[in-house]
Amino acid sequence: MEWRHRGLISLEGWTREELTFFLEQTDYMDELIDRPIKKAPALRGKVVLNCFFENSTRTRSSFELAGKILSADVINWSASGSSASKGETLRDTVWTLEAMGADGIVIRHGSVGVPEYLEKKLKRASIFNAGDGAHGHPTQALLDLHSARKKLGNLEGAKMAIVGDVLHSRVARSDIQAFSKMGARVVLSGPSTLMPEDTEALGAEYIPDPCEAVRGAQILYFLRIQQERMDDGLIPSVDEYHRRWGASEKLIALAEKGAVVMHPGPINRGVEIASSVADGPGSLILGQVRSGVAVRMALLYLCLGGARQ
């Protein structure tokens, strides 16, 4: 099929056919990562800028690796060491970077809508959303989809339980979009104080009881408690949260046999997930990290002209 996306702001406009095609391209990138020499000339001469206004380990590093494996020139830009610390506006910053020859700009920002705003302001460079506030994290959803599909195969009719801090989670919003389009049924569970007011508008069902939410599920997705984004008093205590909604062996035993356990990272052991579960046989957490490189390789390849070359 002909690829129509220049960048990635959200998965909202993606079709199921496009998701399937994208995952097939990611399979090829998986094979490339397995080679003794992890290098391909697909994006030689392209310049990719990583612009992160929030801290990141997995997303930033995997975008950097993805670009370098495909032979792009990758530059990591930091707000603290730039003219942004002198008062330069975000718009002027990205205009400057585009004028320097950037073909793709990967942006993570704490404010909702920044990637979409920049896409409208730039004339040539492609924008890739690496997370904007609590709005969306589309590449995380793509790597989650790829990881689950590799393990389970067809996701049509699968039950996915997302447990935890949905209110502040950009990952949950993007995952609901992605997994629903691939035919999965998504249910949410967690404290009512950590749930959006209208979960049905997100395309998922809210089940307050975590035992009922995970019962019979094939995919168990536990979200990080984002204490840096929340007000005090939304959960009674960390210990009580773990006893009620944390991923324990007792809780995951209610899921379907062979169910996978996922987490976007970084994990808080003993809070949203027990170590025995995070390191257990059903855990896909490290597989998600590996998928992050392959998914971002496929994204850069398709959107920056590698496919047409």
Lowest mean pLDDT among 99-108, 181-190, 235-244: 235-244
d(CA 69, CA 54): 24
- Do 16-137+289-303 and 138-284 fold alike per CATH? yes
Q: Which CATH class is domain 16-137+289-303?
A: alpha beta
Tell me, what's the pLDDT at 309? 44
Q: What is the pLDDT of residues 273-286, one digit of tens each?
A: 999 999 999 999 99
Burial class (CB in 10 A: 0-12, 13-18, 19+), 176: buried
For residues 76-103, average pLDDT: 79
Q: What is the pLDDT of residues 174-213, one digit of tens each?
A: 999 999 999 999 999 999 999 998 888 899 999 999 999 9
d(CA 69, CA 121): 29
Q: What is the pLDDT of residues 37-56, one digit of tens each?
A: 999 999 999 999 999 988 89
Pairing of strands 73-78, 205-206: unpaired
295 residue type, one letter: V
Percent of the chain with pLDDT strictly greater than 90: 80
Q: Measure Cα distances from 207 to 126, 164, 211, 215, 234 in Å.
A: 39, 12, 9, 11, 18
DSSP letter assigned to residue 102: -
Q: What is the pLDDT of residues 140-178, one digit of tens each?
A: 999 999 999 999 999 999 999 999 999 999 999 999 999
d(CA 32, CA 70): 10
Structure pTM?
Answer: 0.94
For residues 100-107, average pLDDT: 94
Angle between helices 90-99 and 114-121 (to 10 degrees): 50
Burial class (CB in 10 A: 0-12, 13-18, 19+), 14: buried
Tell me, what's the pLDDT at 228? 54
d(CA 95, CA 293): 27
Domain spanning 138-284: which superfamily?
A: Aspartate/ornithine carbamoyltransferase (3.40.50.1370)
Mean pLDDT of the chain: 92
- For residue 308, pLDDT over 90 is answered with no
What is the secondary structure of 219-277 as a DSSP string? EEEE----TTTS-TTSSS-HHHHHHHHSB-HHHHTTSPTT-EEE--S---BTTTB-HHH
Tell me, what's the pLDDT at 227? 62
d(CA 255, CA 151): 16
- Cβ neighbours around 35 below 10 Å, total: 10
Domain ranges of the chain: 16-137+289-303, 138-284
Tokens read off for 278: 């995070």
- Reported confidence tier of residue 306, pLDDT bands at 50, 70, 90: low
Q: Which residues pair with 189 in a beta bridge?
A: 163
At 47 the three-state DSSP class reads strand
